[in-house]
Amino acid sequence: MNLTQKSLIASMVLTACMACSPAPSASFVAAPNDTNNTANAPLSAADARAFLAKVEADIEKLSQPAAHAAWAYATHINYDTAKVNTYFNEQLSVILAKYAVAAAQFNDVEVDADTRRQLNLLKLSLEIAPPADPTKAARLATIGSDLSGMYGAGKYCRDEQTCFSLVEMSSQMATSRDADLLLEFWQGWREVSVPMKPLFTEQVGIANQGAVELGYANTSELWRSKYDMPAADFPKELDRLWGQVEPFYEALHCHVRAELSEHYGADIVPLDKPIPAHLLGNMWAQSWGNVYDIVKPEQEMNVPDVTAALAELGYDEIKMVKQAENFFSSLGFAQLPETFWERSMFQKPEGREVQCHASAWNLDDKDDLRIKMCIQKTGEEFNVIHHELGHNYYQRAYKDQPMLYRGSANDGFHEAIGDTIALSITPTYLQQIGLIDEIPDASNDIGMLLKTALDKIAFIPFGLMVDQWRWQVLANEVTLEQYNTLWWELREKYQGVMAPVERSIDAFDPGAKYHVPANVSYTRYFLAHILQFQFHQALCDIAESKEDLHRCSIFSSEEAGKALNDMLEMGLSRPWQDAMETMTGTREMDASTIEAYFAPLKTWLDEQNQGRQCGW
């Protein structure tokens, strides 16, 4: 659900393909070790344009077959599809790394703004930059593969006969209220990451050499340079946004801690300390929706049962997707192509293994749009379908941009668009499409808003601190011995969450989160959780909604649809600030819309927290 890329390899294709431009007659340097450049003449703007054309031509030869290989593997997992997918993955990884490093040759060449943007985006397309030294580059690739394999194969064994996968433990942590069992699984999963620590440290050292060769001080600066502002300013911008959310988060934290303390006892959940991380219904305490039953309002809530309504009205998987398409059609978007219905995967096929994780695909960067889901006929899946189609319509909106610009304005925008659409699945919308007969009155909103806040607002500080930790590590600002200490310092600072037991200096708890050993940046999820509410408010204003923000749906507003499409069409062609201004009228991200969206819940939380000790 939260992945917009088709797969790792397809994501690389989308961020590496170059804009078409005619190659000039002048020679150019195709890669650092090539010797095409005539008489070693200084590189020119014409060389840069020719270089970009060469990159596009080479990558285009692999991009579509690689995308189809990735799709084949995701929808029919077997030995052969795995081999083919791995082959294309490796080939595109090599060529992308080669050209990202080669782009640094033009760092000091005077070029037009469009060429400079393309060169910068090519360099920034790498999360981990391999050095030019082939031995070191090969070692970096091996470490990355080893770390991913260690995480993927990880399990906790209580004894020789009884072992648990992450999926099994996560399921237990979502539903069990046995504090001892929760602690056992929490500790058990973190044993998986201990052997990763020396490999991760070695990886940081090699990757920093690669970042220097690209023209950055280290990998931390490389990552922080992806957001159309000075790298040193970006963390300050994130802290500014967090400052807008923090008061509401503290009120939510105070209520949740008090209710957990009442449930488990003050000896397990003290009222003057951070919340123990194993009790929040999630292996990483990153979202808290699974403890709703403990912290929910006492009064009965009349919440629409979408799952029951879907069953009663005979919705099957296709009809659910058709209804989501109808949402976008009501905004003025063209219908999805016939190939979408022919080639998407809506159900788990009989007799073969597939990746059921919901995702949105565009295999040719034009019109071959698809979704991949094993749809369950539930209200939650109904939301997910709207979210995934949000990605598809974004992909189609920027399809006419040059190849490098076929992506979201920054990595937070794609996820934010999907979530923005999902925010419009309100009781009003459900009534308009005939899924419910009556709209519950406002007295029922607290339960809905609390559940949303437990999932979305509780996540925000976690979404912030993962890369706050990683940036310091990648900049060599902390020693190996300080890795775990810093992790928990940041978790307590931002989340008010603590390790339930003392952690050893040898522990590597960050590695227990997939995105750390896999080197997937995490700030995109923080940004998405901020932007979706800002986008929702802007679109509701354009739609001239008279409803409270949390009850607003932009369904049937062609004015809102046009404003949305105008932003989506820009893709990556301009800084994200320009895209933001197109729809919202401002060039700044603004988290104050969260306060407006959750205003009734904030009032209720303040009432519940009267007389409680808040903070940590």
Domain boundaries, the chain: 8-126, 140-300+457-521, 306-439+524-607
Nearest to 529 by CA among 463, 451, 580: 463
Per-residue pLDDT at 303: 80
Would you say residue 27 has pLDDT above 90? no
Structure tokens at 569: 């069409």
Would you say residue 500 has pLDDT above 60? yes
Rounded to an integer, the average pLDDT of 309-318 is 96
Structure tokens at 601: 């819940």
The model's pLDDT over 346-372, given as tens digits with 9 standing for 90+, comes to: 999 998 888 888 899 999 989 999 999
Class of domain 140-300+457-521: mainly alpha
Would you say residue 282 has pLDDT above 60? yes
Q: How far apart are CA 199 and CA 534, in angstroms?
A: 40
Tell me the pLDDT band of 271, cut-offs 50, 70 and 90: very high
- Which one of the listed residues 156, 394, 522, 525 is annotated catalytic? 525
Q: Is 317 annotated in the active site? A: no
Would you say residue 466 has pLDDT above 80? yes
Nearest to 470 by CA among 529, 522, 514, 410: 522
Who has greater pLDDT, 29 or 464? 464
- Which one of the listed residues 74, 358, 422, 507 is annotated catalytic? 358
- Which one of the listed residues 129, 381, 415, 597 is annotated catalytic? 415
Q: Is 70 annotated in the active site? A: no
3-state helix, strand, coil in the chain (%, to 5): 60, 5, 35
Per-residue pLDDT at 311: 95
The model's pLDDT over 406-423, given as tens digits with 9 standing for 90+, comes to: 999 999 999 999 999 999
Q: How far apart are CA 211 and CA 203, in angstroms?
A: 12
At 552, give phi and psi (nearest 5°): -75, 140
Structure tokens at 68: 């189809």
Q: Is 489 annotated in the active site? A: no
The model's pLDDT over 420-460, given as tens digits with 9 standing for 90+, comes to: 999 999 999 999 999 999 999 888 899 999 999 999 999 99
Per-residue pLDDT at 163: 95
Residues forming a β-bridge with 345: 372
Q: Could you identify the residue written with the tokens 């990763």?
A: 196
Would you say residue 20 has pLDDT above 70? no
Q: Is 68 annotated in the active site? A: no
Query: In this prediction, what percent of the chain has a pLDDT beyond 90?
Result: 75
Structure tokens at 185: 């699984």
The model's pLDDT over 164-179, given as tens digits with 9 standing for 90+, comes to: 999 899 989 999 999 9
Q: How far apart are CA 12 and CA 16, in angstroms?
A: 6
How many Cα atoms occupy the beta-carbon half-sphere of 319 within 13 Å? 10
User: How far are the Cα atoms of 322, 355, 559, 567, 597 from residue 542, in angstroms, in the given order?
Assistant: 25, 38, 7, 14, 16
- Which one of the listed residues 221, 325, 381, 388 is annotated catalytic? 388
CB-based contacts of 32: which residues, under 8 Å, 6+ apart? 101, 102, 105, 132
Q: How far apart are CA 313 and CA 318, in angstroms?
A: 13
Residues forming a β-bridge with 369: 362
The model's pLDDT over 325-350, given as tens digits with 9 standing for 90+, comes to: 999 999 999 999 999 999 999 999 99
Q: Could you identify the residue written with the tokens 């209580």?
A: 158
> Which stretch of DSSP H or E encloses residue 227?
none
Per-residue pLDDT at 8: 36
At 214, give phi and psi (nearest 5°): -80, -10
Nearest to 125 by CA among 39, 55, 191, 31: 55
pTM of the model: 0.89
Q: How far apart are CA 529 and CA 594, in angstroms?
A: 9
Tell me the pLDDT band of 88, cut-offs 50, 70 and 90: confident
Q: How far apart are CA 60 and CA 20, in angstroms?
A: 11
- Which one of the listed residues 253, 278, 387, 529 is annotated catalytic? 387
Q: Is 387 annotated in the active site? A: yes
Task: Find out whether 315 and 480 touch, Cβ atoms under 8 Å.
Answer: no
Neighbours of 94 (CB within 10 A): 13
Rounded to an integer, the average pLDDT of 542-552 is 96
Q: Taking every pair of C-alpha atoms in the chain, what is the biggest distance, in angstroms?
A: 81
Q: Is 525 annotated in the active site? A: yes
Structure tokens at 534: 């800002």
- Which one of the listed residues 515, 581, 596, 599 is annotated catalytic? 515
- Which one of the listed residues 278, 386, 391, 536 is annotated catalytic? 391
Would you say residue 606 has pLDDT above 50? yes
Tell me the pLDDT band of 1, cut-offs 50, 70 and 90: very low
Q: Is 73 annotated in the active site? A: no
Query: In this prediction, what percent of the chain has a pLDDT beyond 70?
Result: 94
Tell me the pLDDT band of 583, cut-offs 50, 70 and 90: very high
Average pLDDT over the chain reads: 90
Who has greater pLDDT, 13 or 335? 335
Length in residues, the chain: 616
Q: Is 76 annotated in the active site? A: no
Q: How far apart are CA 227 and CA 22, in angstroms?
A: 29
